[in-house]
Chains A and B, each alone.
Chain A
Amino acid sequence: MKDFKIACGYFWKYLKQYWLAVTIMIVLTLLATFFQVIAPIYMGNAVTALTKYVAQLADPVTRASASMAAFYTALKLMALYFLLNVLAQFIAWMIMSKFNADATNGMRKNLFAKLQRMKIRYFDTHQDGKILSLFTSDIDNIFNALNNAVFEIVSQGALYIGTLIVMFSINVKLALITVASTPFVLVIALVIMSKARKYLDAQQDEISNLNGYVNEQINGEQVILSNGLQQESIAGFKKYNQRVKDTMFKGQFYSGLLFPLMQGLSLLNLAIVIVGGIWLIVADSMNTATGLGLIVMFVQYSQTYFQSLTQLTSIYSMIQLALTGARRLAKVEAQAEEDLVLDGKKQEGLRSKVALNDVHFSYDEGKEILHGIDLSVDKGQMLALVGPTGSGKTTTMNLFNRFYDVDSGSVTFDGVDVRDLTLKSLRSKVGIVLQDSLLFTGTIADNIKYGKPDASDEEMIAAAKQAQIHDFVVSLPDGYATKVSDEQSIFSTGQKQLVSIARTLLSDPDFLILDEATSNVDTVTEEKIQQAMDAVLAGRTSFVIAHRLKTIVNADKIAVLRDGNVIEQGSHAELIAQKGFYYDLYTNQMVLD
């Protein structure tokens, strides 16, 4: 119930600005439904009038006074209501199309903007794929439901209730006969739907298992080929394929069942209504004309009644999906955002030093990662951080530009706590070169100018040259205008890293954080990366997670991190002289990662 409220709150938030359109749409839909229910009455009346007319013609006494006037009146009204129905429907749908699309657009844009404002923690603790499914599936489900389900609920609900009222006002007995089977029908429909849902879920799981298998096998085809494993691979495939076949059969069968079953039941109900109607005419000794008109009407009503019942049951699952989606989206909207510190001081330029003062930090409460770290880098100097995997190097890196905030202690720029600086000014002065480099879809120029979109081409080329990527870029037919995306492989991993260094060079930060790790690159590219890194480090205050001995040895200061503590600190010569942990690392060929 609470979940339902949250979901409704979400819809309210995005639909309330369209209240006028929504109201008009609902009123028009109700009107359309009303006309839809009324029209058959006049059709019945027209038939009754004609029957009477024929009877009057047949009887010599009334032959002269027989008139078609009543028929024409009924026919005109029927045509009028048909027309009004179509007109009201048309306007309602036009209005609805607009506000549904607009509301969904608002949801989509807000979701994206919200994600941009959220803390890094959220992204580190949630899989990209799951976050992405908010866009690909949840918003989609909501749009579908708004477009189909909402309208259907209003119109079919009104139709259902309207038909009920009209039926009962015309003839209570026949109305009772018409609705008698409803509870039975509902139970059958719900049972089938829940079964279908269950097997459709299972089907989804099996398909994703098969997908996983096929994906792994085909991507590993080189291993399969070079070991001659094709037959084994096919045998494995057959198992997954069989399971997909079996569960999909059940899913398709049960979900396909609803339609013919409801159609059949509708027909059966029709038969009941007719038989019941005939029995009524006889039992209540109605005159034939009235009776015929009554049955003609109820034949229509029974069909309408059943149609709305079928529609209402079949949109049930659509609505469930939309509610789940809304709940998930509402949950994301409730997530904490980064504090922009709009009233904070502006970080203008680094004057003396950057420091970590007695910093304690944990990702999860109770599991402290950093236990009181003190580090400082003077302006223009380089601090190299070394230590084994899991010592807290990357974590430390995350604190400078507030990807994470300390538990206690402080990170300061010229003595000012980073939490007292406006976030924007802080980040504009802090640059990061990450180990994994990512390219955004767009041109190479867009990617290099990413941090400074208004940079001139000359500035961009200068940065690219310093980053050792210019020659490669100009060798491409479209040069800097070449379109790239992260998936397509114009650039190797190493070259991507060069682009990301060029990006940082162009944005010219005061203080630089650099993760030196380079993975899987050939010697030539590695050489280039190192030159590029040297270029970006030159003359800048920097904090480097060092992997190369040259960097470490050349650093102004080296800090050795181990299990979340700084265990040694000093220049290369000093640390060697200490004959401590650093000395061991150094003499053991520096196996760092």
Chain B
Amino acid sequence: MEILKPHLKNYLGAIIGAVISIIVAAGASLLQPRILQFILDNLLKNDRQAMFNYGMILIALAVIGVIAGILNVYFAARVAQGVTSDLREETYRKIQTFSLSNIEKFSASTLVVRLINDMNQVLNVVMTTFMQVLRMPIMIIGAFVLGIVTIPRFWWLQVVMFLAVALVIGLTFPQLGKMFDRFQKKLDRSNTIAKEAMQGIRVIKSFNQQENEEERFGEVSDEMNDLNIKIGYVFSCLLPAFFLVCNVGITAVVYLVGINVENNPGELAAITSYIGYLMQMLFTLAFGGMTMAMYARGFVSLGRIKEVLDTKPDLTFDPNAPEVELDGTVEFDNVSFAYPGAENETLKNISFKVAPGESIGVIGATGSGKSTLAQLMTRLYDPTSGVVKVGGVDLREVNEGSLRKAVSLVLQKALLFSGKISDNLRQGDRNATTKDFRWAARISQAAEFVEHYDDQYEHPVEERSANFSGGQKQRLSITRGVVGKPKVLILDDSTSALDAKSEKRVKEALEKELTQTTTFVIAEKIFSVMDADRIMVLDQGQIVALGSHQELLANSQVYREIYETQRAKDKIEEGEL
């Protein structure tokens, strides 16, 4: 609840409106049986003027009730929407201060769930609070008090009825909640089976597994059914039980009035209104129980959002660091790194220095730490020990803008955002012009297909970039990487979906156009890095060799082995074997 407080303050006007309107609306409903009673009283006394007056009051109450009710919905929706959307923005802002490891700890998909589904739960909580929860105590206390005012000697009946309904609710609702949770789990399970059966339909059919799949699904479906029936039975008992309690109450009231009517004839006209109050109290209580059950879920969601807001970003840039133009020097000084929570170090004691304009190839098997190297250079992570410097500045002290401008990372998984091609390219350089796009797209070999479109760089990028092939996506992603003319360019296996010819052209263009840029080419295959000035061979987080292709062939056993195995394969592919 505390995370809502600062946002609630901004909607004080609407909150006051909602509270006043709910009090007025509740008051109108509460007074109605009382007025009714006065009318009946005066009917007995045959006082027409009074009857007419009370009739008018009743109509006025109805009108006030409707207006207050509408205003209440209006204000409650205003508060709920305002607070939730502010909280959602606050949460999103918070997420944008997160480091990669913060995000990975939560996982992207649960963050999305928290921003959307959990927020909707919060919305319901706020809405329910200002429409029903505040109304409940007013109605229950109001009805209780007015009931006693109407026929004072029946106060004990009200207490007994209240306790009876509260007991029924208290006993059954927690059980129901548990059943619903169990049902939700079964539902998720059955949905998973159905989803897999859709995606794997070819596998199922080619192995003739339809019947087994049906059985698998049937089992879960039957379990769901059993639970459904159980829940149904509980409701089938619960609701009649509630009505039974109400009916016993009504009968008792009529009976009790009846046996004492000689002494209290005035109570006759009060019967209807008294029963009205009794029912208002009991229905509010029962309805309130259900509301509270839903309310509990909303609090779980609030907790999950709070968890995001309370998370400290584990990597921040010094806002006071001076903006400087960094050159292309990259230096690792005895750097070791372990992913948060991991036991083993991914990188161990890495030291090297690269001069501006140099090209470096990085090779090694999966898990050797190649991509981690790239993530340290871009300060997506800080090293566990040692220092990473770009342009001579320790990245822990660098200005964020300066680093982003100097270093550009192109990932193997070419992530494009839906929108237009130009939107995506401008992510690499906010001020890039079409001329810059053309220049960059020539390097990445993207120009050949982009400039084929009528709308060229304004061509849409669909969701999941579904309108581009893997190779096209990678080329666009490389375009984005080079468009800002970075001082350091890191290509992390980012030509894997390109054919050999295009890959070669990209490399040639990079060499020609980005002479001042330090480039790191991370790859699995020696073919991709052979021409680099120096090649770094990583094995289990350590540099095992560093030098030119010729040097390494001569001096490095590991490099030679990799080269031989890959060359053997090449030879097969060349048809020599």
Contacts and interface: CB of A to CB of B under 8 A. Distances in A.
Interface in B330-372: 365-366
Interface residues of A, number: 143
Contacts of A85: 243, 247
A165 interface: no
A435 to B, nearest CB: 11
Given A104-B228, A260-B69, A590 B415 contact: no
Interface string B45-61: 01010011001001101
B214 interface: yes
B197 interface: yes
Given A115-B197, A116-B213, A438-B199, A295 B40 contact: yes
A315 interface: no
Contacts of B88: 241
B200 interface: yes
B431 interface: no
A270 B58 CA distance: 9
B210 A117 contact: yes
Contacts of A431: 206
Interface in A268-282: 268, 270-272, 274-275, 278, 281-282
Contact of A220 (B63, B233, B415, B573): B415
A135 B190 CA distance: 9
B194 A524 contact: no
Given A271-B62, A450-B209, A93 B36 contact: no
B214 A43 contact: no
Contact of B63 (A221, A264, A591): A264
Nearest to B380: A225
B43 A135 contact: no
B365 to A, nearest CB: 6
Contacts of A57: 262
A274 B36 contact: yes
A129 B366 CA distance: 33
Interface string A290-310: 011001100110000000000
B411 A112 contact: no
Interface residues of B, number: 144
A259 B76 CA distance: 14
Contacts of A202: none
Interface stretch (B155-163, B253-261, B385-393): B253-261
B201 interface: yes
A431 B84 CA distance: 53
Contacts, number: 379
Given A93-B236, A424-B208, A75 B365 contact: no
B222 interface: yes
Contact of B32 (A214, A238, A267): A267
Interface stretch (A95-103, A352-360, A406-414): A95-103
Interface string B509-533: 0000000000000001100000000
Interface SS of chain B? helix
A226 B409 contact: yes
Interface stretch (A250-258, A462-470, A532-540): A250-258
B575 A46 contact: no
B278 to A, nearest CB: 13
B74 interface: yes
Interface string B68-103: 111011101110111011001100110111111001
Given A54-B268, A108-B221, A403 B202 contact: yes
B1 interface: no
Interface string B201-229: 11111111110111001100110110011
B195 A132 contact: yes
Contact of B205 (A231, A278, A403): A403
Contacts of B200: 438, 440
A71 interface: yes
A282 B93 CA distance: 70
Interface string A579-590: 000000010011
B146 to A, nearest CB: 16
Interface string B124-151: 0001000100000000000000000000
A485 B199 CA distance: 13
B525 A128 contact: no
Contacts of B198: 115, 123, 128, 131-132
A486 B196 contact: yes
Nearest to B206: A432
Interface stretch (A10-18, A168-176, A204-212): A204-212
B66 interface: yes
B85 A245 contact: yes
B96 A230 contact: yes
Contact of A101 (B66, B201, B228): B228
A252 B77 CA distance: 6
Given A86-B240, A220-B417, A424-B208, A211 B116 contact: yes
A497 to B, nearest CB: 12
Q: Which 5 A-B pairs have the closest CB atoms?
A: A260-B69, A97-B232, A264-B66, A93-B236, A228-B404
12 contacts: A75-B251, A83-B247, A214-B115, A217-B417, A252-B81, A252-B127, A267-B28, A292-B268, A424-B208, A427-B207, A522-B365, A523-B365
Given A234-B92, A260-B73, A261-B66, 16 more contacts: A43-B250, A50-B261, A54-B268, A108-B190, A123-B198, A211-B116, A226-B407, A228-B403, A234-B96, A248-B81, A260-B72, A261-B70, A274-B55, A507-B207, A523-B524, A589-B501
Interface of B: 25, 28-29, 32, 36, 39-40, 43-44, 46, 48, 51-52, 55, 58-59, 61-63, 65-66, 68-70, 72-74, 76-78, 80-82, 84-85, 88-89, 92-93, 95-100, 103, 108-109, 111-112, 115-116, 120, 123, 127, 131, 190-210, 212-214, 217-218, 221-222, 224-225, 228-229, 231-233, 235-237, 239-240, 243-244, 247-248, 250-251, 254-255, 257-258, 261-262, 265, 268-269, 271-272, 365-366, 378, 380, 400-401, 403-404, 407-409, 411-412, 415, 417-418, 427-428, 463, 470, 496, 499-501, 524-525, 566, 572-575
Interface of A: 39, 43, 46-47, 50-51, 53-54, 57, 68, 71-72, 75, 78-79, 82-83, 85-87, 89-90, 93-94, 96-98, 100-102, 104-105, 108-109, 112-113, 115-117, 120, 123, 128, 131-132, 135-136, 143, 147, 207, 210-212, 214-234, 237-238, 241-242, 244-245, 248-249, 252-253, 256-257, 259-261, 263-265, 267-268, 270-272, 274-275, 278, 281-282, 288, 291-292, 295-296, 299-300, 338, 401, 403, 424, 427-428, 430-432, 434, 438, 440-441, 450-451, 453, 485-486, 500, 503, 507, 519-520, 522-525, 548-550, 553, 586, 589-591
